Amino acid sequence: MEFEFVTPGPIEYPAPEAIPGPSSSQFWTPGRGNSIPDYDMFIVSTLSDLSWKMRQKKEDTVSNTLSGKTAVVTGGSRGIGAAIAARLASMGAKVVICGRDRERLAKSAANIGCEAVPCDVSDWKSVESLASAVKQDHGGLDILVNNAGVADFGRPLHELPPDRWDAMINTNLRGVYYAIRAFAPLMISRGGGHIVNISSIASKNALPGGAAYAATKWGLNGLSYSVAEELRGSNVRVSVVCPGSTDTELSPHAGKDPKKMLRGEDIAHVVAMLVTQSDNSFASEVVIRPTKKP
């Protein structure tokens, strides 16, 4: 708003209707009998109103960034998955979380305000059923976050029971393959989408006592890079996020300070950035570490 200063002569103040906002009643209105405020107070009040409007506009924009979008988050009942689901829901997306623990899944969905569908990502029929339900209820999918994972730490590979090896391979790697196989066609039919695979810093370093887990995450990175090229032409962007030490139930915390570790919300922030990047950009990988070593 521009003001023209004329000397000598009285200053003309705009009517309240000219500057809508929560404190318009503070303005002077000609012919209504209220006293003329100090000009400085008028400027302060005007700037306060404009600032309030800008904040409201920014909040509304953020909360509606993903309006009309549908997202599926595997392993969404706890930890990083629940934080990601909550962040996407707060941005206006219709979120569906899945997991194997029905009770915990229902509780998390109630807290987040999203849908919950029981699903075991290591079982193709279960994933196929989830995809069918999403297609029927939402018509397709825009965002897939492959977060479900299991781990076994604290012993060398030669002491790891075969069933624990199978559990990690089937959930951490096969589960991602199943989810992409089931949901990528829904994204392609919609003209594009985002697939975000949650890996680990263990995919970048040696992990004594967690060789099998590290193997699944190294494999997940390779899968992500390759699928990203396969789906690029269909406007489906595939990204991989590699978090460092994160305070969850999954990671080993021996000798580490939880206060210095990453939180699920930190990972959710990165996912939010990935699914809202500009149409002309493609961030294929993000490595995120705690500011201070825990």
Catalytic residues: 213
Residue type, 63: S
Residue 292, SS3 per DSSP: coil
Alpha carbons 125 and 281: distance in angstroms, whole number: 35
Structural contact between residues 88 and 73, judged by C-beta atoms closer than 8 angstroms: yes
Alpha carbons 167 and 50: distance in angstroms, whole number: 56
Alpha carbons 65 and 94: distance in angstroms, whole number: 12
Task: Give the H or E element holding residue 117.
Answer: strand 115-118
CB atoms within 10 A of CB 60: 10
Alpha carbons 187 and 155: distance in angstroms, whole number: 40
Which distant-in-sequence residues (6+ apart) come within 8 Å of 142 by Cβ? 66, 69, 70, 71, 93, 187, 190, 193, 194
Helices (H), the chain: 39-63, 79-90, 102-112, 124-138, 162-168, 175-190, 211-231, 264-274
User: What tokens appear for 140 in the block?
Assistant: 């397709």
Residue with tokens 């979008």: 69
